[in-house]
Amino acid sequence: MPQKKDKDVAENSSKRKSFSVKKGIKSRERVRDRGEVFTELREINNILDLTADAHRNYKDQRILEPACGNGNFLVVILERRLADIKKAIRKKDQDDIEFAILTALSTMYGVDIMPDNVKECHERLMAVIGKFYKERIPAKNRRPDFLNAVKEILRTNIQLGDMLNGKEEISFIEYTVPRDYYFVRNEYRLIDLELGINSSKKRIKPTHYLKIGGGNAD
């Protein structure tokens, strides 16, 4: 049975103007030319309710949406993960909250062939995090470096690409946690991963989470 909290999260999402695309499409031309049809909220929740174990563990389970559109699945997954963070981190420790948010986002990936979809997906995920952040962190304590780190992870993880005919152009950044509040970033080519080649083309040493977006944290 779906949990009431998950339903509430989904209902809140559906009220946002940008969440749903009327009748599941943006235009008939895009359906004709790209086969673009957006999954609606009810189907998203039915699927996620059946696969909760595959997406709720935000620390270890990585999710790739290979045709993410403007983020319908990713928005709901992120909201469910943030609901779990709210429950798990009851104390108001800002570092713990910020690092958990970034960890949850860093294990989510999306690719889409349409630039406007990628832009909208970035904006929608940023809005979800912004709302959650404002509810938990007083205005005087909010850090621009944290929001810049969110933007950097969105840049690397939600990207423009063609998963059918342009795989050689797609690379993914794997964020791992060597110790609290730090990320190591390794870059892998999609075609190498599909061949079982587990060697990164680029590695960035352990970096404090507030420095990911170019911040100056110690």
- On whether the CB atoms of residues 105 and 157 are closer than 8 A, the answer is yes
List residues bridging with 159 in a β-sheet.
111
Q: What angle do CA 81, 129, 11 make, to 5 degrees?
A: 65
> Among 20-34, 128-142, 190-204, whose mean pLDDT is lowest?
20-34
pLDDT bin (cut points 50, 70, 90) of residue 35 is low
**204 membership: H or E segment, kind and range:** strand 202-208
Decide: 203 and 175 in contact? Cβ < 8 Å.
no
pLDDT digits (tens, 9 = 90+) for 179-195: 999 999 999 999 999 99
Tens digits of residue pLDDT in 47-74: 777 776 666 778 888 999 999 999 989 9
Query: Which residue, among 7, 191, 29, 30, has the nearest Cα to 83 in the 3D structure?
Result: 7
Question: What is the 8-class DSSP label of residue 61?
Answer: -
For the record, the structure tokens of 102 come out as 């970034």
Which residue has tokens 């749903």? Answer: 20
Lowest-confidence segment of 25-39, 90-104, 141-155, 159-173 by average pLDDT: 25-39
pTM value is 0.82
Give the helix, strand, coil percentages of the chain, each rounded to 5. 50, 15, 35
pLDDT digits (tens, 9 = 90+) for 72-86: 899 999 999 999 999
The pair of three-digit structure tokens given for residue 101, joined into one six-digit string: 């948010």
The residue written with tokens 């832009």 in the block is 119
Q: What is the pLDDT of residue 29?
A: 64
User: How far is the CA of 131 from the CAs of 69, 125, 134, 176, in angstroms?
Assistant: 22, 10, 5, 25
Residue 85, SS3? Answer: helix
